[in-house]
Amino acid sequence: MNKLLVSPAPHIHTKTSTRSLMTDVVIALLPSVIVSVLFYGWPAVIVLASSVIFCTLLEYLITKFLLKRPNTVSDMSAVVTGIILALNLPPTAPWWVAMIGAAVAVGVAKMTFGGLGQNVFNPAITGRVFLLISFPAIMTSWGGGKSFIPGIDAVSGATPLGIVKESLAQGMTLDQIYAANDFSYLDMLFVNIGGSAGEISAIAILVGFIYMLARKVIRPYITLSILVTVAVFSGIFWLIDPAQYTDPLFNLLTGGVLLGSVFMATDYVTSPMSDKGGIIFGVGIGIITMLIRYFGSYPEGMSFAILIMNATVPLINKFCKQKKYGRA
């Protein structure tokens, strides 16, 4: 009887933990991982492995030797960062590029701020943007791997958005570009070889999205507000001048909009708390992405948009509070 514990209420706790949430994200990422490995073969395996291993190892080393704190590797967040970073790289990127990306993601963007929960910017995107600026050639050439599925081999080349941007700059109209390149929405939806490892299959990403919603890992507002904003913004421009501006579906299915809106913009740490805040955040990302695509010098823009909006999160949190009971 003397063994009875005494502590304040509540005496029970939900089974959901940081680790279980992160594990759910990993499971949600699996369809995209599988598709990219199947279609890009061994190079994709090597990029994924080096990114995940290095992210995890680095977090372990930093907590153990620099911060001298209990190690946090078991919360699985480094694995999530590793997978997302790898899915953001061309599958044929050399392993050491993945390692540098991991070093920036975990070493700089995450652990410098104090680890999970303290960082301002999404670690995987920070890593990706660092690589994009440092190794533009490697980061923008795709394909070339040998698929595990016989008969399908990825061809080298630029992404659809890259091709469009370059060709428009050369004075071609969209009709001519489409005719010359044979873009297929159906391919983009299922498997479109010509993109970073994670963005080749919209369906795989959407399966992950539905899984996370069903498991209540995320709420849908951020993702949906990004997608709606991208569709509306590009829709308006496309209706005005279909020869110069790509259509909404093309913009939704290319350039990491899906990958970013489902897995990166919804990162707990770097997105607003409230649903209202999430919608503002998502609309901001959508607008910035489309401004970069239509008027900037980069073909895509999702990563930059998310990073910029990450910086506004504390402000959004301050002004978007949940409605309090009895304080109309």
Binding residues vs another protein (CB under 8 A):
1, 3-14, 16-18, 20-21, 72, 75, 77, 114-118, 268-269, 273-274, 321-328
**3-class DSSP state of 159:** coil
CA separation for the pair 95, 302 (Å, rounded): 24
The dihedral formed by the CA atoms of 165, 248, 199 and 317, expressed in degrees to the nearest 10 = 110
Rg of the Cα atoms in the chain: 21
Say how far apart CA 22 and CA 20 lie, in whole Å: 5
The nearest distance, CB 54 to another protein, in angstroms, is: 21
Nearer to another protein, 246 or 271 (CB): 271
> Which of residues 47 and 84 has its CB atom nearest to another protein in the complex?
84
Min dist. Cβ of residue 4 to another protein (A): 6
Question: In whole angstroms, how close is the CB of 122 to another protein at the nearest point?
Answer: 12
Is the Cβ–Cβ distance between 306 and 88 less than 8 Å?
A: no
Q: Output the smallest distance, CB 14 to another protein, in A.
A: 5
Q: Which is nearer to another protein, 117 or 242 (CB)?
A: 117
CB contact at 8 A, 290 and 227: no
Cα three-residue angle 247-250-255, rounded to 5 degrees = 130
Nearest CB to another protein, comparing residues 58 and 168: 58
Between 2 and 170, whose beta carbon lies closer to another protein?
A: 2
What DSSP assignment string belongs to 183-222?
--HHHHHS--SSS-GGGS-HHHHHHHHHHHHHTTSS-SHH
Q: How far is the CB of 211 from another protein (least distance, A)?
A: 17
